[in-house]
Amino acid sequence: MLMSSSAKVPQYFQDLIEFYPQSEGAGVAIFYQVTPPGVDLEQVALHQYQTFLGQKWEQRSESWMRPWKRVYQRTRDVKANFVGEMTAATVLVGRHDQKWVLKLLRINSDDYVQAYTVLNAGFNCPEAEEFRVYSIGEDEEIQGLLGISRRRNGEILTLALWDD
């Protein structure tokens, strides 16, 4: 699923869409929107989580909320490193398997450079002033991560990935 609240989207969003092709049950959701200053980033992330779940959320919201938790927030003294931060988040949610995060991020040896280029442009740029990772899923059956970034100009980019 991909969603944008803007008619014109930046290249980094388009590149993410191309890298993560959309298909039914693919385990990927990408969001782009522009918000005014002061909007609560967690509320934006939660709304996007609910949006991509759609009917599933309405049917079983309690089971989808159980794993919901902020597991990582980038601090100003940390160098932006989306893949490294998502890897750290997997450990924080109890997954100690490097292969799981690479599978989750859909990074393999064939597209390693492209993956890092696309993810860096979206999440590691100097304009990104805030970055968080939330655990998502449905109880133990589906596990994933939602990474959300806000730029100084109000642009919010979200990449949610899950594995069942």
Q: What residues make up the domain containing 45?
A: 2-153
User: For residue 108, what pLDDT is reported?
Assistant: 65
In a domain, 145, yes or no: yes
User: For residue 5, what pLDDT is reported?
Assistant: 56
Q: What's the mean pLDDT when you consider all of the chain? A: 84
pLDDT in tens, 57-91: 888 888 888 889 999 999 988 899 888 888 888 88
The count of domains in the chain is: 1
User: For residue 124, what pLDDT is reported?
Assistant: 92
In a domain, 164, yes or no: no
In a domain, 159, yes or no: no
**Are 147 and 123 contacting, i.e. CB atoms less than 8 angstroms apart?**
yes
Residue 28 backbone phi and psi in degrees, to 5: -135, 135
Look-up of token digits 């893949």: 83
**Are 116 and 106 contacting, i.e. CB atoms less than 8 angstroms apart?**
no
User: For residue 141, what pLDDT is reported?
Assistant: 73
Taken in order 102, 105, 110, 115, the sign of the CA dihedral is negative
In a domain, 163, yes or no: no
In a domain, 162, yes or no: no
pLDDT in tens, 122-155: 999 899 999 999 999 887 777 889 999 999 999 9
In a domain, 35, yes or no: yes
User: For residue 39, what pLDDT is reported?
Assistant: 92
- Three-state SS at 140: coil
User: For residue 144, what pLDDT is reported?
Assistant: 85
